[in-house]
Amino acid sequence: MSWLDHDSYIEIYPPEPFDFSECLVFLARSDQEVSHRIKGDHLYKLIKLDDELVLLKIGMKQKMLNVEFLGKSPSSSIREKTAAYVWDWFDFESNLGEFYDFAAWDKVLKPLIDNFYGLRIVGIPDLFEAIAWAITGQQINLTFAYKLKKKFVYHYGESLTFDNENYWLFPSYKTIASLDVEDLRALQFSVRKAEYIIGVAKTLAQYQWTRNTLLTKQDDDEIRNLLMSIRGIGAWTADLVMMRCLHRANAFPIADVGLHNALKIHLGLEHKQSIAEVKEMAAAWDGWYAYATFYLWRLLYEHHA
């Protein structure tokens, strides 16, 4: 991790290639998003480190990310943890050059890496948020999923006010574990999803599972099976969590509707492919399924660019 500490702000030096503006396009995919805010070419994000709320303003200056602390400057320990958070959030640990070396020879992926050069998988570092968001999106369109998320965050998340604007934090599993199904039903969650999300929160609380619990495991199948042992988490949800939260390069949510829509658009097909057809076509992507999926998703947000 390459960064410099300046007390009221930090500078992070991302590995090449990296295009911050490409990542902003992905983060701007819904105007209902409440987990971050984009103003011009700056990204605002509220995070919680060591029980302290920290509001960040992130922008790109030449080849470095400038991360400004809004409000009082946090301790040196918090500043260091902020650098680690941002480094992880934008997946700077992955060797994107290796993906490009492989994708340059793939007729499906080559146009994508040419168009979206420097895009990295923007993660969801909190395990409960990653799982709850994936469950929220099960079998509904993205627009309605964001509306549910907004209500969920406004009702149960923490917030911080800066310059007369509120910035929000996704609810903690400890808060949600104490709820009843009817509490989430009141926010338009289905009975099943309310049960799942509260159940996940209770499981994480009971077993003290964190993201690090899963990161210590080396085998993708072991992680997937552990996630799928929780009621409400199927293969699609598990792979989304592995991809967005754990940065597992070979996670492949093969049944994802967005993936299938993107392939239909990208390949100029009249009908969406079957899962078997996608599996056959994507066989060569082994080792990089997650990035292939993320770049195909990027196609769906072209109207924001």
pLDDT score of 305 more than 70 = no
Tokens 């599993």: give the residue: 173
Query: What's the confidence (pLDDT) of residue 304?
Result: 41
Across 206-213, average pLDDT: 86
Task: State pLDDT tens for residues 143-158.
Answer: 999 999 999 999 999 9
Higher pLDDT, 5 or 214: 5
Q: Which amino acid is residue 288, in one-letter code? A: W
Q: Which residues contact 82 (CB under 8 A, 6 or more apart)?
A: 10, 47, 49, 54, 56, 67, 69, 74
Q: What is the mean pLDDT of the chain?
A: 94
Domains recognised in the chain with CATH numbers? 3-93 (3.30.310.20), 97-116+249-305 (1.10.1670.40), 127-244 (1.10.340.30)
For residue 217, pLDDT over 90 is answered with: no
Mean pLDDT of 204-219: 87
Catalytic residue annotation: 256
- Determine the distance from the C-alpha atom of residue 161 to the mean position of all C-alpha atoms in its chain, rounded to a whole number: 24
Mean pLDDT lowest among 71-75, 218-222, 301-305: 301-305
Global pTM?
0.94
Q: What's the half-sphere exposure (Cβ side, CA atoms, 13 Å) at 72?
A: 6
Report the percentage of the chain scoring pLDDT > 90: 87
Strands 37-39 and 42-49: antiparallel
Q: Is the dihedral of CA 290, 219, 14, 83 positive or negative?
A: positive
Does the structure show a pLDDT above 70 at 31? Answer: yes
Q: What does the block give as tokens for 242?
A: 């592995």
From 11, 293, 246, select the one nearest 131 (Cα to Cα): 246
Q: 166-188, pLDDT tens digit by residue? A: 999 999 999 999 999 999 999 99
Query: Which residues are CB-neighbours of 219 under 8 A, at least 6 positions away?
Result: none
Q: What is the mean pLDDT of residues 38-67?
A: 96
Tokens of 58: 């992130």
Does 303 score more than 60 pLDDT? no
